[in-house]
A and B are shown apart, each in its own frame.
Chain A
Amino acid sequence: MNDYTKYLASRVTAGGLSRREFMGRAMAAGITLAVADKLFTESAEAAEPKRGGHLKLGLEGGAATDSKDPAKFLSQFMFCVGRCWGDMLVESDPLTGAAVPALAESWEPSKDAVTWTFKIRKGVKFHDGKELTIDDVVATLKRHTDKKSESGALGVLGSIKEIKADGGNLVLTLSEGNADMPLLLSDYHLVIQPNGGVDDPLASIGTGPYKLTSFEPGVRATFEKNKDDWRSDRGYVDSIEIIGMNDATARIAALSSGQVHYINRVDPKTVNLLKRAPNVEILSTAGRGHYVFIMHCDKAPFDNNDLRLALKYAMDRETMVQKILGGYGKVGNDFPINATYALFPEGIEQRVYDPDKAAFHYKKSGHSGSVLLRTSEVAFPGAVDAAVLYQESCKKAGIEIEVKREPGDGYWTNVWNVQPFSTSYWGGRPTQDQMYSTAYLSTADWNDTKFKRPDFDKLLLQARSELDEAKRKDMYRTMAMMVRDEGGVILPMFNDFVNASTKQVKGYVHDIGNDMSNGYVATRVWLDA
C-alpha cells in the first residue's frame, strides 16, 4: 500500500469518503479492483467510531505566554486548543484542500469575485446556550479586520472592505476580486465567538465539539464534550487533556510509556528509534511547509540569474530529503507550491542535481571567489547540517560556499530578509495565491528573495479574481515557471508533518491543510479500548 492509498483508506476509516469515491480514486492511482474492494471493506470496518474515553495529547509549542484570545493564537498548542472549542465559517477538505461548509452552509460569489454572500447555519448553539446569530459572525470578522487589531488573521483579511448582514446572510465586499475568499475564512484565528468576542475575548466560548474546562498557559488544557454539538461526525471522546511538552525526548518518553495517546513534532533523527516501540504508530502527512535557501535577487552577486541557476543546479535535493528529513518529505522544485495545493501546476520538469550544468552557469555568470551562506539552527531543524551538505554538493560543481553559523537569537530580525543569502523556513499557506502574495509579490513585506517582476504581479492579481479554474491553473503554471527559473529561492524540500500516536488511536485523518490533522486531531480521532 503506498502513501496515497493508505491515505484514502484512512479517509474511509474517518468516514469522509464514500465507496464510490474511494474506488474511483484508488483505481486512478493504479490499484486493481479486487485489492481496492478489499481495502475499502477493511477500512470501512475499522470506520465504526467508538465513543467515550479520555484522550491525552502531548504537544510541543505551548508557552506560558499563550493567550486564550483566538486573535492571538500563535503556537501549535493554541492552534489545537482553538480547534477543539471553536468553529470557523469554512473548513478545508482534508484531502483536496478545497473549501467545505462549516458554520457557513453555502456561499456565492459575484461574477468578478468581489462580493461574496455566505449563508449562515441555523440552530447552532454556543457553549453558553445562546444561539449563533449573524450578528456574532459580523462582530467576529469586524474584530479581526479592525486596523487596530492585533489579530494574526489581519494580513489574510486585508482585502475585506465591508462586512455586513443581509437578512440571515453575511455579505463581504472586497477591494479586489478574490476567488479564494471562502478558504481564507478557514484561518484558525477566525473562531466565531458570541458578539465576536468583543466583550470577553478570553472566554473561550464557541460552537465547537468540546468545552474548555481548565487552562493553564504552557502547562495544560482540559475539555469536556459539548453535548449540544451541531455535528455528529466528530467529537468521539468524552474528554480531552492537552499537555504542553516542549522537550522532544519528554514527548517520546510520554508516548512510549503510554502516558499520552498522541504527540506532535517527532524529530526525523529519532523517528526510526520510536518506530521500534511496539505500541506506537508514526503518522506522517505530506505538508506545504518548505525549507528554503534564499538569495536576494537585487543584491550582488545574486542579481545575476546565471549565478542563481548555478546555485539551484548545485543543490542535491534527494540527499537533502534523505539526510535532513530522514526521508519524511518530498523534493522541491524551486517554487513554493506542491501537489497538496488545489490547482497545482502539473507537468513541470523536476530540477535535479547537475554539477555540469551548475558549473556551466557559474562560469557564464562570471563570478569568482566564495559565496557566503548564513544559517542557524533556528532556520529549520538541521539547517546547519543542510548548509554543510550543500557546501559539499557545490564543491563538486566548482562553486565554493562559505557557511557562516549565526546565533539563533535574533536570526529572524538580523539575518532573514536582511542578508543576501540565508536559510529559512516557510509554513505554507492555504492557497497558492496567499503563498505568492506573502512572499513573491513585489510589494509583499515578506518578499524575502526580493523577487520583483511587474509581469508576475499582474498575473497574480489576475489569477486572484479568476473564477474559471482551468484558466486559473494555467496562470499559476506560468507563475511557477517564473519563480523556478528566475526567482531567488532554492527550494530543496517540502517537509512532512511527522507525528505519532499509540495504536489505540483510530480514525486519524491525514489532512494536507496543516499539521496535527489541521489542528483537528482531538476532535476527529477515537480511542479503541
Chain B
Amino acid sequence: MTNPAPSNILPGLRLRQRFPLLALILERFVLSIILLFAVSILIFGGLEALPGDFATTYLGQSATPQAVANIRQDLGLDRPVTTRYVEWLGNAVQGDFGTSWASKNSVSEQIGKRLGNSLFLAGFAAVISVPLAVGLGMFSVHFRNRMPDKIINVISLAAISLPEFFIGYLLILFFAVKFGIATFPATVYDSMGFAERLKAIALPTATLVLVVLAHMMRMTRAAILSVMSSAYMETAELKGLSAFRAIVKHAAPNALAPIINVVALNLAYLVVGVVVVEVVFVYPGMGQYMVDAVTVRDMPVVQACGLIFAAVYIFLNMIADILAIIANPRLRHPR
C-alpha cells in the first residue's frame, strides 16, 4: 500500500528517474530533430512564397518565353509542391541536396567546400575570442569599477556599437591600404597552403573577434558579478581566499551556465551570421554562397543553406543546454 506498484510508472518516467541526465539529453535531442523538421517546412514553404521564380530571374532580360518554359520543364517546377517537398526532404536526410539549378553542380559537394571555409574562419575566430573574452571578463571582475575594468568596458562597448562592415572597412583601410601589411582580399582557394590561408584570413578573423568579443566578455562579467553577490562568496572571502582564487574556483563554475549560453550563441553567429564579413572580405564561405543563390532563386542551394544554418543553430544551442545541465546539477531535477 505504501509503495506504488512499479508497473504503474510509465517506462519513460522510469528512465527519467534512473538516468535523469541521459533522459534530459535524449529529450533535448528528439526536440531538436522535431524543430529541424519544422524548420524544413518553413524554409520550403517560405521559398515557394517568394515573388519571382528561377527561370525568369536567372535569364534576366535575355529570357525568351521559350527559354523560360524549357528551364521550368527541365527542373520539374510544374509538379505539385508537396511532391517536391517530400522528395527534397527524403534526399536531404541522406545528405543529398540535389544539384544547383544554375550551375548544375552538386550542392552537397559545393557546400562541403564552402562550409569547410566558413568553419575554418569561425573556428579560428572562436579559438581566439572565447578564451580572450572569458579571461577579460574575469579580469574586469577582479578590477571591478577600477581603471582596467572601465577601459575594457568602454572599448568593448565601442566595438559592439560599430557595425561589423565598418570595423572590416577600418581594418582594410589601415592594414591593407595604408600600411600594406595584411593580405586583402581574403579569398582562399583549393590549392592554397595552410600558412597562406592563415595569412589570408587574418583581417576577417580580427573583425569577427572584435564583433563577438564584447558580447561574451560582458556576459561573463555580469554572470560572475551576480554570483559574487551571493552568500557563499562572502564566506569564501571571510575564510581568507584570495580574490582571484575566489573568482576562478568558486564564482566562475557557478556562472558557467549563462556563459556557455552566450558562447554558443556567438559561435552560431560566427558560422551563420557572417554574411556581411564574408562579402566585405571576399571570403568564399556559406554566407556568400547563400546570397548568390538567393539572388537567382537557386532553390536547392538556398534550401540546403537554410537547413544547414538551422541545424548549426539548433545543434549549438542543444550542446549549450546540455553543458549547462552538466555544469549545474540542480537543472537535472525540474521541480
Q: Which residues of A contact B (CB under 8 A)?
A: 58, 63-69, 72, 74, 147-152, 154-155, 158, 202, 214, 216-220, 243-247, 249-250, 253-254, 256-259, 409-410, 412-414, 426-427, 445-446
Could you tell me if B70 and A148 are in contact, using CB atoms closer than 8 angstroms? yes
- DSSP class of A's interface residues: helix, strand, loop or mixed? loop
Could you tell me if A259 and B184 are in contact, using CB atoms closer than 8 angstroms? yes
Shortest A60–chain B CB gap in Å is: 11
Could you tell me if B177 and A409 are in contact, using CB atoms closer than 8 angstroms? no
Shortest A138–chain B CB gap in Å is: 21
Could you tell me if B292 and A218 are in contact, using CB atoms closer than 8 angstroms? yes
- A258 — which chain B residues lie within 8 A by C-beta? 180
Could you tell me if B184 and A253 are in contact, using CB atoms closer than 8 angstroms? yes
Report if A413-B189 is in contact (Cβ < 8 Å); known contacts: A65-B292, A155-B67, A257-B184.
no
CB-nearest residue of chain A relative to B60? A74
Q: Does B65 contact A (CB under 8 A)?
A: yes
Shortest B333–chain A CB gap in Å is: 49
**Quick check: which of B11-19, B294-302, B308-316 contacts chain A, the rest being far away?**
B294-302
Could you tell me if A155 and B62 are in contact, using CB atoms closer than 8 angstroms? yes
Q: Does B121 contact A (CB under 8 A)?
A: no
Could you tell me if B301 and A64 are in contact, using CB atoms closer than 8 angstroms? yes
- A219 — which chain B residues lie within 8 A by C-beta? 187, 189, 284
Report if A150-B71 is in contact (Cβ < 8 Å); known contacts: A63-B292, A65-B102.
yes
Could you tell me if A214 and B191 are in contact, using CB atoms closer than 8 angstroms? yes
Could you tell me if A216 and B292 are in contact, using CB atoms closer than 8 angstroms? no
Could you tell me if B282 and A244 are in contact, using CB atoms closer than 8 angstroms? yes
Could you tell me if A412 and B103 are in contact, using CB atoms closer than 8 angstroms? no
Closest 5 A/B residue pairs (Cβ): A410-B51, A65-B102, A63-B292, A413-B52, A64-B292
**Quick check: which of B123-131, B168-176, B205-213, B263-271 contacts chain A, the rest being far away?**
B168-176
Could you tell me if B51 and A409 are in contact, using CB atoms closer than 8 angstroms? yes
Could you tell me if A65 and B279 are in contact, using CB atoms closer than 8 angstroms? no
Could you tell me if B64 and A155 are in contact, using CB atoms closer than 8 angstroms? yes
Could you tell me if B189 and A414 are in contact, using CB atoms closer than 8 angstroms? no
Q: Contact check: which of A147, A151, A250, A413 meets B281 at CB < 8 Å?
A: A250
Q: Contact check: which of A63, A147, A243, A446 meets B185 at CB < 8 Å?
A: A243
Shortest A385–chain B CB gap in Å is: 22
Q: Which residues of B contact A (CB under 8 A)?
A: 50-53, 56-62, 64-67, 70-71, 74, 100-105, 110, 113-114, 169, 172-173, 176-177, 180, 183-185, 187, 189-191, 279-282, 284, 288-289, 292-293, 295-296, 298, 301
Kindly state the separation between the CA atoms of A148 and B74 in the bound complex, as whole angstroms.
10
Could you tell me if A259 and B292 are in contact, using CB atoms closer than 8 angstroms? no
Could you tell me if A216 and B70 are in contact, using CB atoms closer than 8 angstroms? no
Could you tell me if A150 and B67 are in contact, using CB atoms closer than 8 angstroms? yes
Complex A-B: 21 CB contacts under 8 Å: A64-B100, A64-B103, A66-B102, A67-B104, A154-B64, A154-B67, A202-B104, A216-B113, A217-B110, A218-B284, A250-B185, A253-B169, A253-B173, A409-B50, A410-B50, A410-B52, A412-B57, A413-B52, A413-B53, A414-B51, A426-B61
Kindly state the separation between the CA atoms of A67 and B64 in the bound complex, as whole angstroms.
19
Kindly state the separation between the CA atoms of A226 and B65 in the bound complex, as whole angstroms.
39
Q: Contact check: which of A67, A147, A202, A253 meets B172 at CB < 8 Å?
A: A253
CB-nearest residue of chain B relative to A218? B292
Kindly state the separation between the CA atoms of A339 and B58 in the bound complex, as whole angstroms.
31
- B71 — which chain A residues lie within 8 A by C-beta? 150
Report if A445-B284 is in contact (Cβ < 8 Å); known contacts: A216-B190, A412-B52, A413-B52.
no
Kindly state the separation between the CA atoms of A90 and B70 in the bound complex, as whole angstroms.
28
- B66 — which chain A residues lie within 8 A by C-beta? 147, 154
Could you tell me if B51 and A65 are in contact, using CB atoms closer than 8 angstroms? no
Shortest A226–chain B CB gap in Å is: 21
CB-nearest residue of chain B relative to A410? B51
CB-nearest residue of chain A relative to B183? A259
CB-nearest residue of chain A relative to B178? A257
CB-nearest residue of chain B relative to A439? B61
- A446 — which chain B residues lie within 8 A by C-beta? 61
Kindly state the separation between the CA atoms of A149 and B289 in the bound complex, as whole angstroms.
27
- A409 — which chain B residues lie within 8 A by C-beta? 50-52
Could you tell me if B51 and A413 are in contact, using CB atoms closer than 8 angstroms? yes
Could you tell me if B185 and A66 are in contact, using CB atoms closer than 8 angstroms? no
20 additional contacts, CB 8 Å, given A65-B58, A247-B279, A414-B51? A63-B295, A64-B114, A64-B292, A65-B102, A65-B293, A65-B296, A65-B301, A67-B103, A68-B103, A69-B104, A148-B70, A154-B66, A247-B280, A250-B185, A253-B172, A254-B184, A257-B184, A259-B185, A409-B50, A410-B50
- A246 — which chain B residues lie within 8 A by C-beta? 279, 282, 288
Kindly state the separation between the CA atoms of A414 and B57 in the bound complex, as whole angstroms.
12
Could you tell me if B52 and A66 are in contact, using CB atoms closer than 8 angstroms? no
Kindly state the separation between the CA atoms of A247 and B39 in the bound complex, as whole angstroms.
30
Kindly state the separation between the CA atoms of A409 and B53 in the bound complex, as whole angstroms.
11
Could you tell me if B110 and A64 are in contact, using CB atoms closer than 8 angstroms? yes
Report if A66-B184 is in contact (Cβ < 8 Å); known contacts: A245-B282, A246-B279, A445-B64.
no
Could you tell me if A412 and B60 are in contact, using CB atoms closer than 8 angstroms? yes
Report which residue of A243, A247, A410, A413 has the largest number of chain B beta carbons within 10 angstroms of its beta carbon: A247
Could you tell me if A243 and B51 are in contact, using CB atoms closer than 8 angstroms? no
Shortest B283–chain A CB gap in Å is: 9
Report if A220-B187 is in contact (Cβ < 8 Å); known contacts: A150-B67, A257-B177, A410-B51.
yes
Could you tell me if B280 and A249 are in contact, using CB atoms closer than 8 angstroms? yes
Report which residue of A147, A151, A218 has the largest number of chain B beta carbons within 10 angstroms of its beta carbon: A218
Could you tell me if A66 and B280 are in contact, using CB atoms closer than 8 angstroms? no
Shortest A38–chain B CB gap in Å is: 37
Report if A150-B74 is in contact (Cβ < 8 Å); known contacts: A245-B282, A410-B50.
yes
